[in-house]
């Protein structure tokens, strides 16, 4: 059995989809559905059971959870909002929850894969290397990123890094992100802007080093990201922290033009002021150093998408079809 926490969320549901396409259905999906519409991501996916997060944690902590047939825990459950200001909430959901599951897996010989984040790199002043030796130098710009870094540091100082896998996801976009509201990717937001107004709004640059719309990001398609998660599910001898990105830095302008191209429309971009409250926390450049992953996965035949290929697939096969969800039934 494979447990996927955050199983109804964006990346979590995409992982279940990917497992289904590989013939795996013995999956326990764990999440906190509350009033969110993310439950719709579970439709079209195959798993043997669903459990609410609080009940799951209670069973784990009490020792009552049956672990005799658990092969792997893929822990994507977390608060992923980069603007969340409740530090206690973030520590409870992103730090303490991960600690509980990490030790449960370590004590029971269960494969543990968890989501860290590229937000741990802050403004990138110390680079984007996932090498263990630079971890203490990183300075996240928001509490979300710090909550992720805290566990990375905890895993290192407590000897867990040679037993677990932490994945630093960069800017992931694609189907099943629809419930994320303001945290949806630009591709999703811009698609709807284009349909409504014929144009896209991008933030102006507020530093002289970058022209408007030329701020750079490492964008990675969710289908590419989850294939790399599967690599670690299948290769239990690979442990440590790894970046999950495209290893390319593309501008917001390039991303916007790719959306217009997919829709066969002339690009029309408006530049608007960045909100004051996020200006000092804004990343102007991200690019995953993928050398560690590439060395670990040498010889593996892993699919990669160009930015235009990924945007085209997302726009035409999902957004244009009414925000279609990933479904193993379609494969």
Q: Which residues are catalytic?
A: 144, 180
* C-alpha span between 297 and 289 (Å, rounded): 14
* C-alpha span between 240 and 224 (Å, rounded): 20
Q: Enumerate the H helices of 160-221 as residue ranges.
A: 186-197
Q: Which residue has the tokens 């043997």?
A: 48
Residues in the chain: 331
SS3 label, residue 78: coil
* C-alpha span between 96 and 53 (Å, rounded): 13
Q: Strand (E) positions, 222-329? A: 240-244, 250-251, 269-272
Q: What are 322's two structure tokens?
A: 């009414």
Contact 31, 56 (CB under 8 A): no
Q: What are 23's two structure tokens?
A: 């013939």
Quote the Cα angle for 68-71-74, to 5°. Answer: 125
């Amino acid at each position: 059995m494979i447990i996927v926490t955050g199983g109804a969320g964006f990346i979590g549901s995409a992982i279940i989809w990917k497992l289904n396409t590989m013939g795996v259905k013995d999956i326990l999906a764990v999440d906190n559905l509350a009033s969110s519409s993310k439950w719709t991501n579970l439709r079209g996916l195959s798993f043997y059971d669903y459990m609410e997060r609080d009940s799951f944690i209670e069973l784990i902590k009490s020792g009552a959870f049956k672990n005799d047939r658990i092969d792997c825990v893929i822990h994507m459950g977390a608060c992923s909002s980069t603007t969340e200001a409740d530090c206690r909430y973030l520590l409870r959901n992103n730090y303490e929850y991960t600690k509980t599951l990490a030790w449960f897996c370590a004590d029971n010989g269960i494969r543990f894969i968890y989501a860290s984040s590229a937000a741990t790199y802050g403004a990138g002043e110390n680079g984007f290397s996932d090498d263990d030796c630079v971890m203490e130098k990183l300075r996240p710009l928001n509490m979300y990123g710090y909550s992720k870094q805290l566990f990375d540091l905890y895993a290192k100082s407590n000897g867990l890094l040679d037993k677990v896998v932490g994945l630093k996801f960069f800017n992931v976009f694609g189907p099943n992100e629809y419930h994320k509201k303001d945290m949806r990717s630009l591709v999703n937001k811009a698609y709807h802007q284009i349909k409504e107004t014929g144009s896209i709004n991008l933030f102006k640059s507020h530093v002289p080093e970058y022209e408007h719309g030329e701020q750079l990001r490492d964008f990675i398609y969710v289908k590419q990201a989850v294939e790399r998660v599967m690599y670690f599910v299948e290769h239990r001898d690979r442990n440590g922290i790894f970046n999950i990105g495209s290893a390319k830095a593309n501008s917001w302008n390039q991303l916007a033009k790719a959306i217009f191209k997919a829709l066969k429309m002339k690009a029309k971009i408006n530049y608007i002021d960045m909100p004051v409250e996020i200006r000092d926390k804004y990343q102007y450049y991200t690019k995953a150093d993928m050398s560690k992953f590439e060395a670990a996965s040498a010889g593996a035949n892993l699919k990669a998408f160009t930015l235009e290929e990924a945007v085209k697939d997302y726009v035409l096969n999902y957004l244009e079809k009414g925000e279609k969800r990933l479904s193993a039934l379609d494969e």
